[in-house]
Amino acid sequence: MQSGYYSSAAGMVAQFNRLDTIANNLANVNTVGFKEDNLVVGDFLRLYKEARDELPIENQTKEAAQFLNRAMNKAPQIVDSYTDYTIGNMQKSDNSLDMALSKEGLFFLVKTPEGVRLTRDGTFTKNDEGKLITKSGYEVLPSDYFTTKQPITLNQEDNIIEIDKNGQIFTDVPNSVKLTPGSKIFIAQPDNIALLKKEGNGLYRYDGAEEFENFDKSGAVMQGFVEKSNVNAVKMMTQMIETNRLVGMYQKAMDTQMNDMNRDAIEKIAKKS
């Protein structure tokens, strides 16, 4: 079979994967705190050049020649994926418990049934017990959680709730205009943001999250705001159109290769007959 057919098929599969990623980004264009995903497309030739010094075969041998013949075709494939953690637009809300982080690489900590998770989605509220929770019902963790194991609890009668730029919560004293400090929201800053793994619902898993120390002076908390998705819808639509065109091009190439192979096979059979 002609190698061009394999290259075209590999290219089409790569573009299908790219379409899936683009579609997911577009589906979350209005999701609070969502971060855009991207793929890196490479080819066998580049991979061979990067790995040839580590191959368990010597140069100038039959084995090396066989590997070279298999690997030198420039068949595109997905070689890596990454998430763009740049900050989305800040939008003012009517909820005093909504919070956004104005700096890149910072996250809120929440408690889920699967363990401690990170999130940029700061659309918080109070449950019937007065606990500060996410819209999915996960408890928002305070700065001293790993010591006290206690959640952030607000009194139902609190009429005034103010949160400063470092996440310190202040509530009003009954029958007074004075504000008293309460819990402080845990602001986490992972050492290596590339190790974050998306889990859906705006959550990220990070191995060793239980060892985080609160970023006391983050200066990034914005009360009454939410961070919108950082997905650029126009850019995504442009990429989708480009990807669909590439799929069509690869399909035509595969059809051409298959037609050539069928014609060659018919001619060879006819000669032998």
pLDDT digits (tens, 9 = 90+) for 166-204: 999 998 876 667 888 989 999 999 999 989 999 988 999
Amino acid symbol at 49: K
Per-residue model confidence as pLDDT tens digits over 218-256: 999 999 999 999 999 999 999 999 999 988 888 887 777
For residue 28, the model assigns a pLDDT of: 95
Spatial CB neighbours of 172, under 8 Å, sequence gap ≥ 6: 158, 159, 160, 178, 179, 180
Q: Round the average pLDDT of the chain to a whole number and report it.
A: 84
> Is there a contact between 152 and 124 (Cβ–Cβ < 8 Å)?
no
How does residue 2 score in pLDDT terms, banded at 50, 70 and 90?
low
**Beta-strand relationship, 161-163 and 168-172:** antiparallel
**Cα(257)–Cα(273) distance, rounded to whole angstroms?**
24
Longest dimension (CA), the chain: 104
Buried b (16+ CB within 10 A) or exposed e, 180-213: eebbbbbbbebeebeebeeeeebbbbbeebeebe
pLDDT tens sequence across 11-38 = 888 889 999 999 999 999 999 999 999 9
Tell me how far apart the alpha carbons of residues 31 and 261 are, in angstroms, rounded to a whole number: 48
Residue 43 is encoded by which pair of tokens?
A: 């080819």
Own/partner contacts of 176-184, CB < 8 Å, gap of 24 or more, are: 182/152, 182/154, 183/132, 183/142, 183/143, 183/152, 183/153, 184/142, 184/143, 184/144, 184/214
- Which region among 47-56, 75-84, 226-235 has the lowest average model confidence (pLDDT)? 47-56
- Structural element, H or E, at residue 100: strand 99-101
Integer Cα distance of 69 and 178 in angstroms: 78
Percent of the chain with pLDDT over 70: 80
